[in-house]
């Protein structure tokens, strides 16, 4: 059979766009696929290459299988290029990346007919089940029973985090990256003018997000001094500090945890 590069049909493209949530599927990336002017700025990536010589090309696939929904995912230009590393981004790795990304948005279509939607409830949480990975990476040397207690503490924090609007979690992620540890790493201190400049957020929008963090007891704001203290300790566990260390050592984006709520990476 002659190998031909076939364009995905309209039904497949529609399903890809809907299940992408208008975001790049690469973990931690929030580049849009369709910009505010309605232009498609993302790229369609073949998990198994469309043509011989392409990344992860599978000669056993048919032309139809190569353009099927299961073999396609939406990525931004930078991460499409990143996934050309076939040794790191194998077929199983990209397939799982696609599945986990699309799972976040599977319930949205069913709820679009509701007049009022609480979008925070549409976010799927990938819970931690063992914490074995972070236990090893940060050299905690905790027992299985001790890790079970840590999982309980983490779940309490995640329950609150899940309730926040996504944009507030995005700001929180930036604040954690730029924060300074104080009081034996139990709290994070942030200089608000620095955050305002780094994010280019309008002052009123910044204040809105900060008030939300205060409401959920995740931050204490000193408006006079222009400082924020992020409260992140669960029974003495400095979550933000450990999240930062883990992501740095594993070369991951902190947003995978705080924004995407994918705590399975800690396993």
Each residue's pLDDT expressed in tens, for the chain with a length of 267 residues: 788 888 888 878 888 888 888 889 999 888 888 877 777 889 999 999 999 998 999 999 998 899 999 999 999 999 999 999 999 999 999 999 999 888 877 665 444 434 444 445 545 678 889 999 999 999 999 999 999 989 988 988 888 888 888 888 888 998 888 877 665 545 678 888 888 888 888 888 888 888 888 888 888 888 788 888 887 655 678 888 899 899 999 999 998 999 888 899 999
pTM value is: 0.57
Place of tokens 């939607």: 117
Alpha helices in 104-202 (DSSP H): 108-111, 132-137, 144-163, 166-178, 192-199
132-266, CATH topology level: Arc Repressor Mutant, subunit A (1.10.10)
Compute CA 112 distance to the chain's CA centroid, rounded to the nearest angstrom: 22
Tokens of 224: 């006079």
Cα–Cα distance, 54 to 58 (Å, whole number): 9
Sign of CA dihedral 154, 30, 163, 233: positive
Cα–Cα distance, 190 to 199 (Å, whole number): 13
Q: Give the domain ranges of the chain.
A: 10-111, 132-266
Q: Which of 106, 120, 90, 134 has its CA nearest to residue 264? A: 134
Cα–Cα distance, 223 to 20 (Å, whole number): 38
């Amino acid at each position: 059979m002659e190998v031909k590069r076939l364009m995905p049909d309209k039904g497949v493209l529609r399903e890809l766009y809907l299940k992408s949530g208008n975001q790049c599927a690469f973990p931690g990336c929030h580049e849009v696929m369709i910009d505010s002017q309605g232009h498609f700025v993302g790229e369609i990536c073949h998990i198994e290459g469309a043509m011989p010589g392409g990344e992860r090309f599978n000669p056993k696939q048919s032309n139809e299988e190569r353009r099927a929904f299961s073999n396609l995912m939406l990525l931004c230009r930078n991460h499409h290029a990143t996934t050309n590393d076939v040794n790191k981004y194998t077929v199983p790795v990209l397939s799982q990346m696609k599945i986990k990304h699309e799972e976040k948005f599977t319930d949205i279509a069913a709820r679009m007919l509701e007049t009022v939607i609480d979008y925070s409830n549409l976010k799927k949480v990938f819970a931690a089940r063992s914490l074995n990975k972070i236990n090893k990476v940060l050299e905690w040397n905790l027992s299985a029973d001790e890790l079970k207690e840590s999982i309980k503490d983490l779940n309490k924090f995640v329950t609150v985090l899940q309730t926040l609007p996504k944009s507030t979690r995005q700001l929180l992620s930036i604040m954690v990256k730029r924060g300074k540890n104080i009081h034996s790493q139990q709290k994070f201190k942030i200089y608000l003018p620095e955050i305002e400049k780094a994010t280019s957020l309008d002052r009123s929008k910044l204040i809105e997000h900060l008030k939300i963090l205060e409401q959920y007891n995740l931050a204490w704001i000193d408006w006079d001094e222009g400082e924020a203290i992020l409260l992140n300790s669960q029974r003495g566990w400095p979550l933000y500090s450990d999240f930062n260390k883990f992501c740095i050592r594993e070369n991951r984006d902190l947003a995978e945890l705080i924004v995407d709520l994918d705590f399975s990476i800690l396993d």
